[in-house]
Amino acid sequence: MPDFVVVALGAVALAGLGLGALILARLGGLAVERAALGGRFDALDKAGERLERTLDSRLTALRDDATGSAKGLREEVNAHLVRVAESLDRKQDALREQVQARLDQLRVENGDKLEQMRIVVEEKLHGTLEARLGESFRLVQEQLERVHAGLGEMQLLATGVGDLKRVLSNVKTRGIWGEVQLGNLLDQLLTVEQYATNVEIVPGSGQRVEFAIRLPGRDDGRPLWLPIDAKFPQDVYDQLVDAAERADPLAEAAAAAELAARVKLFARDIATKYVCPPYSTDFAILFLPTEGLYAEVLRKPGLADAIQRDHRVTIAGPTTLGAFLNSLQMGFRTLAIEQRSSEVWQVLGAVKTEIAKFGDAFDKVKKKLTEATRQMDQMDTRKRVLLRTLKDVDAIAAPDAPPLLGGPLLDDDEPAEMQAAE
């Protein structure tokens, strides 16, 4: 083994021995210190017990002192609060007195100002009210005058309505009113030649219908009449309307039945008096002058058809009669055109004959004009020939010219010679 290894191992051994001795010495010191620390801990425990006892006694003393101090402080605070409350009460009383005095002063001042404002407002209101009331009274007076005038007009209108009601309540007057309306309708839609009034349909019968439309068609030239009679059962219609407004079905049914019976009676009377072929058509027209009455009659199921079938009478209102008359007017126009068509053909034949005669006359005139034109051309040619022949000859007296030329220059039997010379 080398020496340095031995030396190294020796050094390591020596170092280990030194370290072990050091560790043993340190452990011995630690044991001594531990023993010292145990004594110190015991001393500390005893000191702690003494300190605890001391703190308990001091805390008890402090507690007692604090209790006494708090009691004294409480008493002082209570006394101070009592003094403060008394002071606040005094100050509050003083403030209340000051506020009350100020309020009294403000009340007096406000009262004075309100009085002044009341006086000013009363003065302005008085002036404004006087102006407004004057204007209002003026307007009211004007309105009253208008109302008075309106009442006068309403009284006149009421008088007129009363007169109309009295007129319509009278059967004869109602009939006249319906006939007047029918006459106005006929006058508006037909010419005076197309209808007549108070017509006796059957000669010698004495039964006259108020209006009848004149229709063509009879061989002897006499007109064929279409009778139109106006009826106005206003009383029954008013009962029907009144029952409907009162919602009384029994009264309404009774009034409707009465109206149907009345209309049937009118139709039978018209058929008996005025429907008489060949003097009239095989039907007549029953005119109801108001649309409401006409609608009520049509509302009755089968009434119009039964009257048409049984009595050959057609029911018409203002609108339907107007449409019927318009259709008749168109028929009249068509018939007039058919009647005048033969006359038109005759006129056209005469015109055709005259046109043929005019053509012949025109041809003759054209022939004459052609001959005259040809004669004029011949004369112009002869004139140019003579002028060329005699341009160097002096003119002589007119009576001596024909003998020298062997006769007149213009002769009917020389056109060929003139054409040859030309």
Q: Which of 279-283, 326-330, 335-339, 393-397 has the lowest mean pLDDT?
A: 393-397
Of 22-36, 155-169, 374-388, give the lowest mean pLDDT range: 155-169
Confidence of residue 34 (pLDDT cuts 50, 70, 90): confident
Backbone φ/ψ region at 231: left (φ over 0), alpha (ψ -120 to 50), beta: beta
Confidence tier at 419 by pLDDT (50, 70, 90): very low
pLDDT at 133: 76
Nearest to 170 by CA among 230, 238, 234, 229: 234
pLDDT of residue 321: 81
Can you tell me which residue has the tokens 């009144």? 242
**Nearest Cα to 177, choosing from 298, 287, 304, 297?**
287
Look at residue 343 and tell me whether its pLDDT is greater than 60.
Answer: yes
Q: Over the stretch 323-336, which tens digit does the pLDDT of each residue have?
A: 887 877 776 666 66
Alpha-carbon separation of residue 238 from 169, 224, 258, 412 (angstroms): 10, 37, 12, 105
The span from the CA of 416 to the CA of 382, in Å, is 12
Reported pTM: 0.41
- Is the N-terminal amide bond of 2 cis, ω within 30° of 0? no
pLDDT at residue 420, as a whole number: 45
Residue 6 has pLDDT above 70, yes or no: no
Q: For residue 135, what are its two tokens? A: 């204007």
Q: Give residue 2's pLDDT band: very low, low, confident or very high (50, 70, 90).
A: low
Handedness of CA 93, 99, 105, 110 (dihedral sign): negative
- Helix and strand totals (H; E) in the chain: 9, 5
Q: What is the pLDDT of residues 133-185, one digit of tens each?
A: 778 778 888 887 887 777 777 777 666 555 545 544 444 444 466 677 778 88
pLDDT at 421 over 60: no
Average pLDDT, integer, range 296-323 = 85
Question: DSSP H helical segments within 170-302, as ranges?
Answer: 171-189, 234-245, 249-274, 291-299
Look at residues 259, 279, 263 and name the one whose alpha carbon lies nearest to residue 311. 263
Average pLDDT, the chain: 76
